[in-house]
Structure 1
Amino acid sequence: MSGSGILLAQSVPTQPNNDVVVPVVTPETPQSGPRQPSVVTPVPDPNVVTPVPNPSVIPLPTQPNVIPGQIPQVPTASGIVYVNPTSGNDRSDAGRADAPYRTIAFALQQATAGTIVQLAPGTYSKETGETFPVKMKAGVVLRGDEVGKGQNIQITGSGGYNSKTFATQNVTILAAQSSEIRGVTVTNSNSRGTGIWVEDTNPTIANSTFTKSLREGVFVTGTANPKILDNLFTKNEGDGISVAKAARGEIRGNVFIDTGFGLAISGTSAPLVDGNQISQNQDGIYINDNARPILRNNSITDNKRDGVVATIGAQPDLGTAETPGNNTIRNNKQFDLNNSTGNNTLVAIGNSIDPKRIFGKVDFVASSGTFADVQGHWAQAYIQALAAQKVITGFPDGSFKPNDPVTRAQFAVIVSKAFSPTPRRAGTTFADVAKSFWGFDAIQTASQGGFMAGYPGGTFKPEQKIPRVQALVAIANGLEFGNGDVSVLSRYQDATAIPSYASGSIASATTRKVVVNYPTVGALNPNREATRAEVAAFVYQALVNAGKAQALPSPYVVVVNP
């Protein structure tokens, strides 16, 4: 067998030779016994090069029709060699379909860039003669059954590999530059075993199954930039895929189910994670250190703890205004999005996430910068102006929900962003606001800045809907309006419903044109729950009064006649 995996015979054009005598062929005289065929022996022509037949030459197959949704088989460049762990034989004259090699290791020794090593169904292990780790060669394709994701082609084993970035590792397959691994099942049952190790290389790993490894299916490290496409990761003890150091690459169309962490992403790595199904794992995606993965179009649901976890200095890209995330992160047991970084605020634009199932600082911003459900709304101008200043945000589906009520915790976030108050009093420990609560910092800021206070018994009631009167009193107190002339309250047809503690603050807010009443400008409705639109209007008018925003025309601003 040629060292290139296949030798293509080449014919050399010949020139006519007038010196060659072509003999006249006549049948031989019959002899007794079996008749022999007539044999014609032409005179050799020194100008003609006759190729010597090579039993190892395999005709190049044509490209099969590509089934939609299926990654096509790799076209052959230098040919195919065949391996069968049951019937094969590791001899230099083998490697044909009718006389395959026995081991992957021997086939790779013969292969060069462009060779396809085609595996027959069976188990490839130490017992069948394999040497681990299987060391891929640059540009070589290891191919099994892509349609079945390698379910009947099992590569099982482990060998030591000295990684430049993580010392000695137990590895089944070591990927190489521009190599491809397709349509196989990989298992490493050794202690801390890894299925495929990818370090500083750019392989393609596709249509395969990674299962029952004692650590992860694929480990990507260094400056690696692989494509990991349409694989199944299940029942691995550690992770489906680990990405570390400064690695990049594309992780697309894979299924991660019941496999430790679906993905663990660390270091300063920034892979693109796109179109994967991630469910029933311990955590869907665990991101730490200073990793910056790009998450798009993934379904991250029904995991046993959290959907997406960010720790230390991690800052995953969950969508931008130009390219919304379009991730579905729902129905995970603890949190759908767990921001445990402490200081980082995660921005999630254009995803399907339940805002009530998050931990830590997360901003949900509408993907378009405008909100479809505020077009033509009476408070549209206020809402869009505050959204442009990032004081208020929308929901992951691009809506604002202007008529929804506002909780006390949500109101604390809004006034903290709008006014950035400096502390005027010591912080208060509220019995019902844990440090892990998503609005803890904003509540402390609003409380220390004089905007909000707690209730008797040391509670804050963060989930309680805030009435209009409380919202206006909070703004008046925080901005130190003081008590106004209560005679202006006659402007309201329902003035008697204003609580006595609020009269002075409502009077000063009215005088300063902070009060906005829709649809009846003379009806304060002080004890009705404030809507998101109304809070936006109050806050914007307070910014106008402070000289921090331009006045917007509105017939619903309460004006006291001089």
Structure 2
Amino acid sequence: MPKNMGSMPEQWGAFRYNETTKKFEFVASKKVQINGVWNVIISSYSNSAYLVADHAVNFTDVQKHWSQSFVQLAAAKGLVEGVGDGKYNPNKAVTRAEFTAMLVRALGRGIPTGSVTPYEDVQPGAWYFDVVVQAKELGLLGFASDKRFMPDQPLTREEMASMLAAVITLEKLPITKEFINLNGYKDIGNVDAAFLENVRLMIKLKIMTGTGADTFDPKGATTRAQAAVVFIRLLQVAGWID
């Protein structure tokens, strides 16, 4: 960064220029000061043109919301986008397709290697086709059935835990052997057995928390606010962003 910069902006982001879409998109980055000069270290799977920018984002409907700091940081870094008119709609449910698109964007792995539809209800031409194909290739969609993805169905919190745990496995991130007891959540028995260890891992890594002091709400729909929070926490745990 310029030598005369005394500090980095509170809301800054690094962006990769996508030659296909002609847009800048999120790229993982961290700031570090070397010999008194601020530097930005970018982690990318492609050789691209990059931009580092002061990118403050404020939404009128999150000013007093519990997720405000996470939503604004996620938006500043290009992980999430508003819904228009200066709003984010934090309490709106996120569909399976929408969360998959955001997660694939966060991973920055590039384009999928194949083009064969992985599910009968995910067809070429759908806005989410490429991201679902890529997520399937990366092993992130273990919760979905063999034939149907149901892209417009709200993603449940236990399904979100499954996808995030798959990222931990994909990136081979270190995990401690510490055992976390989930009995403090009175509704933990409602978690599908297939997702229980994923939920435990997310709580252990502090990527996900309960929706209340003693509830996890595994069958509840993931909200846009919750999505922004877990993306920031996941990338911080991975060491990809500050």
What TM-score do the two structures reach when normalised by structure 2?
0.69
1:525 equivalent to 2:217? Answer: yes
* Ranges in structure 1 where 5+ consecutive residues have no aligned partner: 1-341, 348-366, 551-562
> What's the CA shift string for 1:286-328, capped at 9, x where partnerless?
xxxxxxxxxxxxxxxxxxxxxxxxxxxxxxxxxxxxxxxxxxx
- Tell me how far apart the structure 2 counterparts of residues 443 and 476 of structure 1 sit (CA, whole Å): 17
1:472 equivalent to 2:161? Answer: yes
Q: Give the equivalent residue in structure 2 for 1:516.
A: 209
Cα 1:483–1:406, aligned 2, differ >3 Å: closer, same or farther? farther
> What's the CA shift string for 1:453-486, capped at 9, x where partnerless?
4743522111011001101110101221689776
Match of 2:20 among 339, 343, 348: 343
SS at match of 2:183: helix
SS at match of 1:437: coil
Q: Give the equivalent residue in structure 2 for 1:434.
A: 123
- Tell me how far apart the structure 2 counterparts of residues 484 and 443 of structure 1 sit (CA, whole Å): 32
Give the letter for the 1:443 counterpart. V
Cα 1:545–1:346, aligned 2, differ >3 Å: closer, same or farther? closer
- Tell me how far apart the structure 2 counterparts of residues 505 and 424 of structure 1 sit (CA, whole Å): 25
Match of 2:139 among 406, 431, 450: 450
Q: Give the equivalent residue in structure 2 for 1:405.
A: 93
- Tell me how far apart the structure 1 counterparts of residues 110 and 189 of structure 2 sit (CA, whole Å): 34
Give the letter for the 2:230 counterpart. F
Q: Contact between 2:93 and 2:154, CA under 8 Å: does it hold in 1?
A: yes
Q: Contact between 2:79 and 2:228, CA under 8 Å: does it hold in 1?
A: no
Cα 1:344–1:527, aligned 2, differ >3 Å: closer, same or farther? same
Report deviation, 1:490. 1.9
1:497 equivalent to 2:206? Answer: no
- Tell me how far apart the structure 1 counterparts of residues 184 and 112 of structure 2 sit (CA, whole Å): 33
- Tell me how far apart the structure 1 counterparts of residues 86 and 223 of structure 2 sit (CA, whole Å): 18
SS at match of 1:450: coil
Report deviation, 1:491. 3.3
> What's the CA shift string for 1:246-294, capped at 9, x where partnerless?
xxxxxxxxxxxxxxxxxxxxxxxxxxxxxxxxxxxxxxxxxxxxxxxxx
Higher RCO (C-alpha under 8 Å, 6+ residues apart): 2
* Ranges in structure 2 where 5+ consecutive residues have no aligned partner: 1-18, 25-54
- The aligned runs of 1:119-518 (5 Å cut-off) are 343-344=20-21, 369-421=57-109, 428-453=117-142, 455-456=144-145, 458-480=147-169, 487-518=180-211
1:538 equivalent to 2:230? Answer: yes
Q: Contact between 1:514 and 1:538, CA under 8 Å: does it hold in 2?
A: yes
> What's the CA shift string for 1:54-79, capped at 9, x where partnerless?
xxxxxxxxxxxxxxxxxxxxxxxxxx
Q: Contact between 2:156 and 2:219, CA under 8 Å: does it hold in 1?
A: yes
Cα 1:439–1:471, aligned 2, differ >3 Å: closer, same or farther? same
Give the letter for the 1:438 counterpart. W
- Tell me how far apart the structure 1 counterparts of residues 56 and 239 of structure 2 sit (CA, whole Å): 28
Give the letter for the 1:344 counterpart. T
Higher strand share: 1
What TM-score do the two structures reach when normalised by structure 1?
0.31
Q: Contact between 1:492 and 1:522, CA under 8 Å: does it hold in 2?
A: yes
Q: Contact between 1:473 and 1:505, CA under 8 Å: does it hold in 2?
A: yes
SS at match of 1:535: helix
- Tell me how far apart the structure 2 counterparts of residues 423 and 390 of structure 1 sit (CA, whole Å): 18
Q: Contact between 2:117 and 2:123, CA under 8 Å: does it hold in 1?
A: no
RMSD: 3.0
Report deviation, 1:546. 0.6
- Tell me how far apart the structure 2 counterparts of residues 424 and 486 of structure 1 sit (CA, whole Å): 36
> What's the CA shift string for 1:420-445, capped at 9, x where partnerless?
24799976532111211111111122
Rg larger in 1 or in 2? 1
> What's the CA shift string for 1:154-180, capped at 9, x where partnerless?
xxxxxxxxxxxxxxxxxxxxxxxxxxx
Percent identity among equivalent residues?
Answer: 24
- Tell me how far apart the structure 2 counterparts of residues 430 and 438 of structure 1 sit (CA, whole Å): 15
Count of paired positions? 189
> What's the CA shift string for 1:95-118, capped at 9, x where partnerless?
xxxxxxxxxxxxxxxxxxxxxxxx
Cα 1:538–1:522, aligned 2, differ >3 Å: closer, same or farther? farther
Cα 1:532–1:486, aligned 2, differ >3 Å: closer, same or farther? same
Report deviation, 1:498. 1.1
- Tell me how far apart the structure 2 counterparts of residues 435 and 514 of structure 1 sit (CA, whole Å): 33
Q: Contact between 1:392 and 1:414, CA under 8 Å: does it hold in 2?
A: yes
